[in-house]
Amino acid sequence: MNDERTTPSENTLTLLVGWTTLPSRDDAERLARTLVGEALAACAQVEGPIRSFYNWEGKANEDEEWRLTLKFTSANAVSLETRLHALHPYAVPQWLAVRADRVAPDYLAWASGVA
C-alpha cells in the first residue's frame, strides 16, 4: 500500500510541534517573527488570549496569556529551543515539543526548506 504520509524513524528528518505561552500578544508575535525569520521554525501560530491557572512560588495564580505554536524540523530542535529560552520573558517558560507521527511529504519538504 502506498500511503501519502510519512512515518518518522530515528534516521530521517522529522517534523516537531512545540508550544509555549507568553504574557502578551506582542511578545508572542515578536518571538514568532524572530524564530521564523531566523529559519528555526517553518511556521508559527499565535492564539489567544487564553486563561492559564498554575502554581508559582507556592501561590495559586491565573493570568491571561497567548499561546505560540511552532512547527520545526528535528534538525533545528536544539537551536530553536536554545533561542526560545534566550528570548523568552519568563524565568521558566513552558516548552513542550512532540514529534509529528504522520506528516504529508509535501509539507515536510516545505518545512525542511527542500520544497
Mean pLDDT of 98-105: 95
Q: Assess if residue 34 is contained within a domain.
A: yes
In this structure, what CATH number is given to the domain that contains residue 82?
3.30.70.120
Distance CA 62, CA 84 (A): 23
Q: Assess if residue 6 is contained within a domain.
A: no
| Residue 17: HSE in the Cβ half-sphere, 13 Å Cα cutoff | 8
Domain count, the chain: 1
Q: Assess if residue 7 is contained within a domain.
A: no
What is residue 88's predicted lDDT score, i.e. its pLDDT?
98
pLDDT reading at 8 higher than 80: no
Q: Is residue 71 very low, low, confident or very high in pLDDT (cuts 50, 70, 90)?
A: very high
| Residue 49: HSE in the Cβ half-sphere, 13 Å Cα cutoff | 10
Report whether 23 contacts 77 (CB < 8 A).
no
Summarised one tens digit per residue, pLDDT across range 17-64 is 999 999 999 999 999 999 999 999 999 999 999 999 999 999 999 999
Could you tell me the pTM of the whole model?
0.88
> What domain range includes position 107?
15-111
In 1-107, where do the E strands start and end?
A: 15-22, 43-56, 59-73, 96-99
Q: Assess if residue 4 is contained within a domain.
A: no
- Please provide the size of the chain in residues: 115
Which positions ≥6 away from 90 have C-beta within 8 Å?
22, 23
